[in-house]
Amino acid sequence: MAEIAIAIAAKVVEYLVAPIGRPFGYLFNYRSNIDNLVHQVEKLGDARAGLQRSVDEAIRNGDEIKADVDKWLIGANGFMEEARKFLEDGKKANKSCFMGLCPNLKLQYKLSRATKKKAREVVEIQGARKFERLSYCAPLPGIGSATLRGYEALESRMSTLNQIMEALRDGDDNMIGVWGMGGVGKTTLVEQVAKHAKEQKLFDEVVMTSIFQNPNLRKIQGQLADMLGLKFEEESEWVRTARLNERIKKEKKILIILDDIWAQLDLEEVGIPFRDDHKGCKIVLTSRNKHVLSNEMGTQKDIPVLHLPAKEALVLFKKIVGDSNDKQDLQHIVINMAKECAGLPIALVTVAKALKNKSVSIWKDALQ
């Protein structure tokens, strides 16, 4: 009796369905294929939820989510919605034939075949959820200071900036020195170098840290690592050095700015590869002492940062003072006060901000 029923069913399938693939397998495995798809969609939902939690945590930590991670989440969400609708529509369609009492074999075949295909798609989506990293550190606001805003647009500073940018484009110069006395604006200048290098896409990464008179190796390594999205879990210095070195070498072209160097700094000890060790790594160093750069650090080109010319110093001073400069009895004092700052941008900015909107008597006292 069973053999007769199977023969009848086979004839019906043969009549209703084109003889492609494995019709009997799709028909007889209809329920198991449906159950498997439901199971796979549930697993995908769990994976998506777990990844979303990690993404949310990264966002709370201030990280930027990588594009491929966002793309996977969007794709997974879209597929799950599509799969649920597919399963619901199939369920309704199957019940429409005599309230489910008489199975539509042609419909079941098509649904089973489509269901198995969708299950394979779920497996492929799951397999694509292999990310080396979910996020990266957002660009830090440390590069690009507002302290001397307006100073970088002055003609003399634009000329110096262009010299540095030209040296960075030169394939032969891997280590460039920028020198000048304290307060002359070296830090602001190299911050502008970093900004222009990013905008012009000269490098894949641009990072910057300050060295100071008494260098703290761990702090220097930590600041560079933070800007590169590297998290140290080790305590030993040599391991941190090796990991930073390895991370920097992953960037084909990278600019590292080391600001305010007072004496020779061992770049290898920090973990910075340079010259033949990593020809794509360019380093800009700033110092008050040219000898430190050329003799102790071995820079290939040294660019001086000079005092502002008197005319530019007055322009910067007046720009910060603002409306105070319009007072007739203050104009002469403003000119003399700007001269007293000796063309040092930091002095000009500090004094101008302190005297802005102050009375004439305070201006006179300050000048004396």
Query: What's the pLDDT at 260?
Result: 95
**pLDDT score at 22:** 55
Output the pLDDT for position 207: 94
Q: Which percentage of the chain shows pLDDT scores above 90? A: 34
Give Cα separations from 342 to 145, 158, 346 (angstroms).
22, 19, 10
- The whole-number pLDDT of residue 96 equals 54
3-state secondary structure of 180: coil
- Across the range 33-44, mean pLDDT stands at 80
How far is it, in rounded angstroms, from Cα 124 to Cα 353?
Answer: 62
Read off the tokens for 199: 């905008």
271 — phi, psi (to 5°)? 110, 25
Most confident of 44-58, 95-109, 177-191: 177-191
For 39-77, the pLDDT digits (tens) are 888 888 888 888 888 888 877 766 788 888 888 888 888
> What digits encode the pLDDT tens for the residues 255-278?
999 999 999 999 999 999 988 889
Instruction: State what percent of residues in the chain have pLDDT above 70.
Output: 79
Q: What is the pLDDT of residues 117-176, one digit of tens each?
A: 877 887 888 888 888 788 776 655 545 544 455 555 688 889 999 999 999 998 788 999
pLDDT on residue 3: 44
Residue 142 or residue 225, greater confidence: 225
The pair of three-digit structure tokens given for residue 258, joined into one six-digit string: 């080391």
What secondary structure letter does DSSP report for 20?
A: -
Q: Are 167 and 257 a contacting pair, CB within 8 Å?
A: no
Interatomic CA distance for residues 157 and 159, integer angstroms: 5
Give whole-number Cα distances, 325 to 315, 346, 364, in Å. 11, 19, 14
Q: What is d(CA 210, CA 213) in angstroms, rounded to the nearest whole number?
A: 10
Tokens linked to 123:
């497996």
Q: Could you tell me the fold of the domain covering 151-304? A: Rossmann fold (3.40.50)
> Does 350 have pLDDT greater than 80?
yes
Query: Beta strands 254-261 and 135-137: pairing type?
Result: unpaired
